[in-house]
Amino acid sequence: MSGKLIAGTVAALAVLFGAAQFVQPQRANPVVDPSATFAAVAKPVPAVAGLVDRSCRDCHSDQTVWPWYSHVSPVSWMVAGDVKRGREKLNFSHWNIYGPEMSQIRLRDACEQVKAGHMPLSHYLLMHSDARPTDEDKQALCAAAQ
């Protein structure tokens, strides 16, 4: 490969990366009614409340903390997509809409996902190692699901 071809390729990639910064996804946090949240409705034990806050909140609530890299395309597109899908699947900010039976189903599903290592997402854990659930976290979540 010639030096001109490499330089041209690098320049084209730099232009594409720069242009991608102008295409940003929506990163919104809707207003949260504190009385509708998982903490208020389910009144979980502190271990479960801590796990949800530390490991689930960013993708499964309307209280996402948008990190610096969520503003850099193309990573921003992936992060915003993960949050959108996470909120659609389970939203701890709207726990009041589930009702007692659905709440148990949602908690059982969360227990299974966490026990199987599917949640939190592995690429989320790369930047948030403190979100990795411990065995005690998993036990507390699964006990709350019973």
**Cα separation values, 81 from 67, 97, 103, 129, Å:** 14, 23, 24, 21
Q: What local confidence, expressed as pLDDT, does residue 12 receive?
A: 62
Domain count, the chain: 1
Residue ranges in the chain modelled with pLDDT below 50? none
Residue 92's domain comprises 3-144
Verdict on whether the full-model pTM lies above 0.85: no
Q: What local confidence, expressed as pLDDT, does residue 10 receive?
A: 67
Buried b (16+ CB within 10 A) or exposed e, 78-99: ebbebbeebbeebbbbbbeebe
Q: What local confidence, expressed as pLDDT, does residue 74 receive?
A: 86
Q: What local confidence, expressed as pLDDT, does residue 35 receive?
A: 97
pLDDT in tens, 69-105: 888 888 888 899 999 999 999 999 999 999 899 999 9
